[in-house]
Amino acid sequence: MMQNVHLAPETDEDDLYSGYNDYNPIYDIEELENDAAFQQAVRTSHGRRPPITAKISSTAVTRPIATGYGSKTSLASSIGRPMTGAIQDGVTRPMTAVRAAGFTKAALRGSAFDPLGQSRGPAPPLEAKKKDSPEEKIKQLEKEVNELVEESCIASSCGDLKLVLFNLASQYSVNEMYAEALNTYQVIVKNKMFSNAGILKMNMGNIYLKQRNYSKAIKFYRMALDQVPSVNKQMRIKIMQNIGVTFIQAGQYSDAINSYEHIMSMAPNLKAGYNLTICYFAVGDREKMKKAFQKLIAVPLEIDEDKYISPSDDPHTNLVTEAIKNDHLRQMERERKAMAEKYIMTSAKLIAPVIETSFAAGYDWCVEVVKASQYVELANDLEINKAVTYLRQKDYNQAVEILKMLEKKDSRVKSAAATNLSALYYMGKDFAQASSYADIAVNSDRYNPAALTNKGNTVFANGDYEKAAEFYKEALRNDSSCTEALYNIGLTYEKLNRLDEALDCFLKLHAILRNSAEVLYQIANIYELMENPSQAIEWLMQVVSVVPTDPQVLSKLGELYDHEGDKSQAFQYYYESYRYFPCNIEVIEWLGAYYIDTQFWEKAIQYFERASLIQPTQVKWQLMVASCFRRSGNYQKALDTYKDTHRKFPENVECLRFLVRLCTDLGLKDAQEYARKLKRLEKMKEIREQRIKSGRDGSGGSRGKREGSASGDSGQNYSASSKGERLSARLRALPGTNEPYESSSNKEIDASYVDPLGPQIERPKTAAKKRIDEDDFADEELGDDLLPE
């Protein structure tokens, strides 16, 4: 390679290219042939580049490839090579581009070699930005206004109404800044150049309507009606509808009737017909109610159902039909039809009980009118509502008769009727009939979640909890919003002792029904079963926030606090429970025992006296009253109470023992008489015990087995018996072991907790279609969350 290198002769003359071959050793190209990365680059990107040639003047000498002299240092590999333009050892490596390396056209014109451009001097300073002209300022302001308008529109659509309030009065109105909105509208309306003042007057009327200033609202609506041209018929109709709504809210039904009658004569629509029916119902005009209902039925829907049915086997036509079956227009038509059916059903349920002498005759008239209209399928729904009305009036036979008649209709109506019949029989505890009709409902419509829930209820009632859970799960698969199925499956898991799954179900239900006392109580009950009393108390406190006067929830809180050892809190909730329901014997017993513990005998007396009124056949309460009198030092009152108790319960040994003792202490002559009676009763008791003992000799083993089984079972449910046993044991132990009334009660009080929300703790909800006892009008069928009696 070196044979082609020619060194320039040494001379003292200035050479144009002198020193050009002096270079840093790292730029040696000798080893480029052995550099794999460089060779790869040559074969790929660099190898495809066009060759770079430069024209030089004829006086220039052709320069061979430059070489170095002295020590040679081979280039590093591609990993170790310096980057383009990097500085190493104080020398700047030239760029690989032609211009950056110093080869410019200026060199061809005889200029000096200046690869770094040092001869050009420093860069000129930046020009100062000129002041914006008026045109530029206007453009900038217009841009900012448009951005703010867009931001306000986006914020309004996203519901962030307080972010931007620049979109004139509409944003003020949406944010309930009515004074600012009215001022803004006034400024715009005063501008004579604004041609849509009528629309703004209508908006101002809407604001006054929200403020319940009905007179001004009507004034501005009428001003808007005067300013809107007659060619804009649709806008004028909307303004008149607003006038009618304002009259209704103001209670001026006659004026509202005039507005809606005019609308129905000019451009009938569903809302106007519905409101007209309501107005005639408010004034009590039966005949006009009928006419208004007929006008509502006659409003055309303007929906062509035939276009969604393919008339031929043409593939192209079928594709078009499939494409439009669920487009936006079809969805809008469905919404319009659903709204029409809602207005018609609500109007029929409203006027049916008053247009005839009986509600049945009124429903029959509405059914006949509906059958003769385009809404013929609503007739069966009206029949179901007729059955619901019978149920409200407790006329179950008529309701069942109507539902059985509907059972012969098409599958949808048949399923609805059978669902309601199943719910009725379930509430009547006729589980066989309930199961039969639930099967009919499920077979008619397998995707009916209410039918599946009712079927699960009947299986639940028979104790087959696993199978009941399967029906509830299927109901949830068909309708994930079926709260009855989710509630009942939680109860099922609780019965199966799958507490974690039960808790998960009720927590999901709580996310849907935030203020449901039933759900909150069930969550608290699950935590109590999981032996987590702190969480149970926390959830019961939420129940109290929803239903603060429920005595059973309050007593449950008292029980939990008592179990935790917090007597003061327990007393507070037991006392609140007693205030709202002073007949709960468990609460009365606890309060009496609490006052005995604290030695407030007089206060304990009033609770035991109330207990004796509630359970007059229980001798225990009279003995407790007498004991409290004796403890308080009122011996005469105690003696009178014991004598009265002895007259009511002459065979009570404990009462006689205490009478003997008390009369002896007081030195009364009656002590001997009571002693004779006591001796005779003790002898009779002894004979009776001997007879019982002799009768047990032959069955001692089996009896012992039964007692062992019973004792094993009794210790499994704390909430059902442990509290009653604890309270009774405390009452027996209070006066001392030598007191005769300690063991007077052979039958202890059942202190099991009763669910404050009814029997849904033990029995699932029924899933009848609509609510029976709701205040407003039912829709198709029975109640969604109807609970069994």
pLDDT by residue (tens digit) across 40-73?
776 665 445 555 444 444 444 444 434 433 344 4
Q: What is the pLDDT of residue 690?
A: 82
Q: Is the pLDDT of residue 745 over 70?
A: no
Helix (H, G, I), strand (E, B) or coil at 579: helix
CA atoms of 167 and 200, how far apart (whole Å): 14
* Residue 628: DSSP 8-state: H
Mean pLDDT value across residues 481-496: 94
Confidence grade of residue 307 (pLDDT, cut at 50, 70, 90): confident
Confidence grade of residue 468 (pLDDT, cut at 50, 70, 90): very high
Mean pLDDT value across residues 224-231: 88
Confidence grade of residue 413 (pLDDT, cut at 50, 70, 90): confident
Q: Which residues contact 222 (CB under 8 A, 6 or more apart)?
A: 243
Q: What is the pLDDT of residue 117?
A: 59
* Residue 410 or 374, more confident: 374
CA atoms of 500 and 669, how far apart (whole Å): 68
CA atoms of 286 and 676, how far apart (whole Å): 84
Q: Is the pLDDT of residue 407 over 90?
A: no
Q: What is the pLDDT of residue 396?
A: 83
* Residue 321 or 14, more confident: 321
Q: Which of 191, 175, 248 has the alpha carbon at shortest distance from 218?
A: 248
Q: Among the listed ranges 85-89, 447-451, 545-549, 625-629, which one has the minimum average pLDDT value? A: 85-89
Q: Is the pLDDT of residue 16 over 50?
A: yes
Question: What are the extents of the domains in the chain?
Answer: 604-691
Give the count of alpha carbons within 13 A of 697, CB side only.
Answer: 6
Q: Which of 405, 462, 398 has the alpha carbon at shortest distance from 430?
A: 462
Which CA distances in Å does 680 have to 506, 532, 657, 668, 687?
61, 53, 12, 20, 11
CA atoms of 288 and 273, how far apart (whole Å): 12
Tell whether domain 604-691 is in CATH 3.40.50.300: no
Mean pLDDT value across residues 339-367: 90
* pLDDT tens string 271-286: 999 999 999 999 999 9
* pLDDT tens string 679-728: 888 888 888 888 887 876 655 554 444 444 333 333 333 333 444 444 45
Mean pLDDT value across residues 419-448: 89
Mean pLDDT value across residues 479-506: 94
pTM of the model as a whole = 0.59
Q: Is the pLDDT of residue 19 over 70?
A: no
Mean pLDDT value across residues 732-748: 35
Mean pLDDT value across residues 101-115: 53
Other beta carbons within 10 Å of 559:
23
| The token pair that represents 148 in the structure block | 């703010």
Confidence grade of residue 738 (pLDDT, cut at 50, 70, 90): very low
CA atoms of 530 and 499, how far apart (whole Å): 7
Mean pLDDT value across residues 608-615: 92
Long-range contacts of 34-40 (CB under 8 A, 24+ apart): 34/74, 35/75, 35/77, 35/78, 36/77, 36/78, 37/77, 37/78, 37/79, 37/81, 38/75, 38/78, 40/78
Helix, strand and coil in the chain, % to nearest 5 = 65, 0, 35
CA atoms of 283 and 306, how far apart (whole Å): 41
Q: What is the pLDDT of residue 132?
A: 66
Q: What is the pLDDT of residue 113?
A: 60
Mean pLDDT value across residues 10-30: 58
Q: What is the pLDDT of residue 445?
A: 87
* pLDDT tens string 498-540: 999 999 999 999 999 999 999 999 999 999 999 999 999 999 9
Q: Is the pLDDT of residue 76 over 80?
A: no
Q: Among the listed ranges 399-413, 549-563, 752-766, which one has the minimum average pLDDT value? A: 752-766
Q: What is the pLDDT of residue 61?
A: 40
